[in-house]
Structure 1
Amino acid sequence: MSTIHAKKRIVLFVVFAVVVLFGLTWYQVPLVSSQGMIVLAHFSKGEVPTHPSDSAWETVAPIPVPLSGQIITRPVWPEPSARALSIRSIHNGKDIAFLLEWQDATINESLTPGVFRDGVALALPLGDAPAFFCMGQLDHYVNIWHWKADWQSDVDRRAERAKESKREKSGPRRFEVIPRRPSSVEDLVGGGFSTLTSKEQQGRIQGQAEWKNGLWRVVMKRPLTSAGDDLDNEAMMVPGRMQAIAFAVWNGENKERNGQKSVASWMQLLIEPVQPPSQNGSGAVESTHRSS
């Protein structure tokens, strides 16, 4: 009986593989894969960079990752505009930050009927076993960090308005309704399609971004895991740990939203171990940034 079940599983797997291959061929999706790639979060003393223009990012070599269209569930999106994503990561033993860069000819930072925003997200499994990379699956949930261009615009405009209010000592004041957001990054949990849930407490993941000359550069930062953290809804991230990570990109100009996006399936994230302080001959602390 066990032999029969084993044969059935093999047949089902072969049929599934053929269906996926047929779908890729039918929709003319290039067979690119990010599997086997490793994203290294470099250890660095001092504060982690929080802005895309921070010079600390120049000490870390970018990792180019190929992107493909999402064709797993309807509506499929075989022809996304973003085809590659550049990734860098730095941590200092307390916080970790990612710099994500991709080509986008237009800036889309509004979300209204028929108008869609730019965005980027990363996914981390809640546990040791990788779940389905798009939205997780039942009993294999994922923690998703979703940066949104319209949220970034709200955060930036509110910060600028606060500066203007301090300068306006007298005279007429300008009133503008701007949503109050704790961050430009939404912190979510997913357990399969149509299960994406925004966490009640937001703001633990902070974002900062800039668009210039057809290039989005987005930084997302979060504290590393410490004792007492709620690991039921937050991915464990500790120095020395290797875990899975996946990415997605949306181009609002291309009408991309929800499942219509570019994706990079599971690859490995290695958070470099914390290195003890070392002294050179003059007593200065040596830098640990590397460009490898």
Structure 2
Amino acid sequence: MQPQDGPVVSSRKLEAELPASVDDERWKEAPAVTLHLVPNVIKEDRLFTPLNDAVTVRTLYNDKEIAFLLEVDDRTKSIPGDKYFSELQDENLEMHPDAFAIQFPHEDAYMSAPMVKKPLYRHGDAKNKTTIWYWNAGSIEPRRDPVAMLFDGSGPDRQLEPREKDSSLSADGAWKEGRWKVLMKRPRFTSDGDVLFEEGQFIPVSFANWDGSNGESGSKHTLTTWYWLILPPEMDAFRVYGIPAGIAFLVFLAGLLLVRFQRKRQTKV
């Protein structure tokens, strides 16, 4: 049974390697769902003037990995030190790198059946932790390459803990004609307490975006609430078609035998 909490992010399975580029044609095979981004007005620093209000999500997986493609309409490519976009920015705001994040609960911090249990979507709590996949676009001045990192969340009032020695997250982003596309990819199964991406399991997922030219950094950003991610189980053709067909044949055969039996009785009488 599907939990009824709004749109579901449905992944698509590939037999081959997953895309390594945001422009890979195979992303068109993945169902797209657009989710509403809302500004953080709960915890300081708050955001009251968001510019980006939606994120479109696609996801693909294979036997070993899962990948997400996030797309956000953004009029500026916010990278500190970029002269062109710095001139377009409000002079009263400080520019920060554009950034994206995906959040999942730890494996022991959620349940989808027989009852629903999810951590607080603002980074969980001490007993129900979350994992954040994070990417930002880097900067030109000072020179910093784009960053892909994993963080652990243990509550909205606690600092995120970076996993400095964990390089299992790969990510890349490209901005073109007012639109960011960001790819994040990681193994489906790990031994660090993170969620296991099992087929047929509804998994809580949420998303966040930082528009750097709008002065967004830290808690000053837009985000979604929890949604559900599903990796649809592979269809067993025998169970779906073979078993019902077999049952129908047995019922038909039983009907023929019953008719023959009734005719023999009538003949004897």
Question: TM-score if structure 2 supplies the norm length?
Answer: 0.73
2:2 aligned with 1:39: no
Q: In 2, Cα distance between the equivalents of 1:205 and 1:255? A: 26
- How far is 1:277 from its partner? 11
Q: In 2, Cα distance between the equivalents of 1:216 and 1:74? A: 26
Q: In 2, Cα distance between the equivalents of 1:115 and 1:79? A: 15
Query: Equivalent residue for 1:90?
Result: 60
Q: Is the contact made by 1:238 and 1:271 (CA closer than 8 Å) also made in structure 2?
A: yes
Q: What is the identity, as a one-letter code, of the residue corresponding to 2:131?
A: N
Q: SS where residue 26 of structure 2 aligns?
A: helix
Q: Is the contact made by 1:43 and 1:275 (CA closer than 8 Å) also made in structure 2?
A: no
Q: SS where residue 203 of structure 1 aligns?
A: coil
The alpha-carbon distance between structure 1 residues 35 and 255, as it changes in their structure 2 partners (threshold 3 A), is farther
Query: Equivalent residue for 1:137?
Result: 125
Q: SS where residue 11 of structure 2 aligns?
A: strand
Q: SS where residue 265 of structure 1 aligns?
A: coil
Query: Equivalent residue for 1:204?
Result: 168
Q: SS where residue 57 of structure 1 aligns?
A: helix
Q: SS where residue 151 of structure 2 aligns?
A: strand
Structure 2 residue ranges without an equivalent (≥5): 82-92, 111-116, 239-269
Query: Equivalent residue for 1:56?
Result: 26
1:113-143 superposed Cα distances (whole Å, 9 cap, x missing partner):
9331100101001122321112221211100
Q: Is the contact made by 2:18 and 2:60 (CA closer than 8 Å) also made in structure 1?
A: yes
Query: Equivalent residue for 1:158?
Result: none
Query: Equivalent residue for 2:248?
Result: none
Q: Whose Rg is larger?
A: 2
2:189 aligned with 1:230: no
Q: In 2, Cα distance between the equivalents of 1:221 and 1:249? A: 17
After TM superposition, the structure 1 = structure 2 runs for residues 123-272 of structure 1, keeping only pairs within 5 Å, are 123-126=103-106, 127-128=109-110, 129-150=117-138, 184-192=147-155, 193-225=157-189, 229-231=191-193, 234-272=194-232
2:95 aligned with 1:115: yes
Q: What is the identity, as a one-letter code, of the residue corresponding to 1:51?
A: S
Q: What is the identity, as a one-letter code, of the residue corresponding to 1:263?
A: L
Q: What is the identity, as a one-letter code, of the residue corresponding to 1:39?
A: V
Q: In 2, Cα distance between the equivalents of 1:133 and 1:248? A: 11
Q: Is the contact made by 1:248 and 1:263 (CA closer than 8 Å) also made in structure 2?
A: yes
Q: In 2, Cα distance between the equivalents of 1:97 and 1:191? A: 24
Indicate the RMSD between aligned Cα atoms, in angstroms.
Answer: 2.7
2:39 aligned with 1:69: yes
- How far is 1:41 from its partner? 1.2
Q: Is the contact made by 2:11 and 2:31 (CA closer than 8 Å) also made in structure 1?
A: no
Q: What is the identity, as a one-letter code, of the residue corresponding to 1:216?
A: W
Q: Is the contact made by 2:12 and 2:29 (CA closer than 8 Å) also made in structure 1?
A: no
Q: SS where residue 80 of structure 2 aligns?
A: coil
Greater shift, 36-45 or 211-220, is seen at 36-45
Q: In 2, Cα distance between the equivalents of 1:205 and 1:274? A: 26
- How far is 1:45 from its partner? 1.2
Q: SS where residue 152 of structure 2 aligns?
A: strand
Q: In 2, Cα distance between the equivalents of 1:262 and 1:196? A: 17
Q: In 1, Cα distance between the equivalents of 2:129 and 2:21? A: 30
Q: In 2, Cα distance between the equivalents of 1:253 and 1:208? A: 20
Q: In 1, Cα distance between the equivalents of 2:237 and 2:76? A: 44
Q: What is the identity, as a one-letter code, of the residue corresponding to 1:249?
A: N
Query: Equivalent residue for 1:103?
Result: 73
Q: In 1, Cα distance between the equivalents of 2:195 and 2:48? A: 30
Percentage of pairs with the same residue: 25
Q: What is the identity, as a one-letter code, of the residue corresponding to 2:152?
A: V
Query: Equivalent residue for 1:172?
Result: none
- How far is 1:238 from its partner? 2.1
